[in-house]
Amino acid sequence: MNDYNLLESSVDLFKKLVHDYTEFKNHSGSRYKALGYKALDCALSGWHLLDWVFNTNEKSNYQSLYDLRQAFEKICPELSVLHDIITGGKHFTVSKGRSNMVRSYSSGYVQNGYVQDGYVATELIIEFDNNQSEPYLQIIDKVVDFWFAYFHEKGLA
């Protein structure tokens, strides 16, 4: 098998998730596109950790990647939201979502008379099919907490 990875382990990808998460939080309030790019980085790292955990030595209890995903999504349903975000980012649309997410959008305000970066407060919001919504920051907080607990339990973080 060829080795095309810049990262060497699931712990490396977890560290990338923590980096992406820090960058996302540091860009809070940025313009929508800049914040969206950071949000997508978090979603990519957070979701793909499932593949990395399965394909490295942590997979012992799961027969397939599907089984691992099912088990982990029950513990952390926010992983399903990340799946739908990155699938939409890759394919433009999501035909078979894993969550009940309907859309993402930005919410923000601009102080009167100002339109420069730094004066725009932007928050990414995820809307669900039950007319509920949740800030993306809260969703990614839960995912980072889940992965931190997972790697901490394994003695890897």
pLDDT tens track for 19-44: 999 998 887 665 667 787 888 899 99
Per-residue pLDDT tens over the stretch 75-126: 999 999 898 887 755 545 655 765 665 656 566 655 555 555 555 557 787 7
Round to whole Å and give the CA distance between 36 and 73. 23
Say if CB 56 and CB 145 are below 8 A apart: no
Q: Per-residue b/e over 129-150, b at no fewer than 16 CB within 10 Å?
A: eeeeeeebbebbebbbebbeeb
Round to whole Å and give the CA distance between 99 and 82. 9
Say if CB 104 and CB 124 are below 8 A apart: yes
Residue 47 — φ and ψ, nearest 5°?
Answer: -75, -45
Round to whole Å and give the CA distance between 150 and 104. 28
Burial class (CB in 10 A: 0-12, 13-18, 19+), 89: middle
Per-residue pLDDT tens over the stretch 118-142: 555 577 877 778 888 888 889 999 9
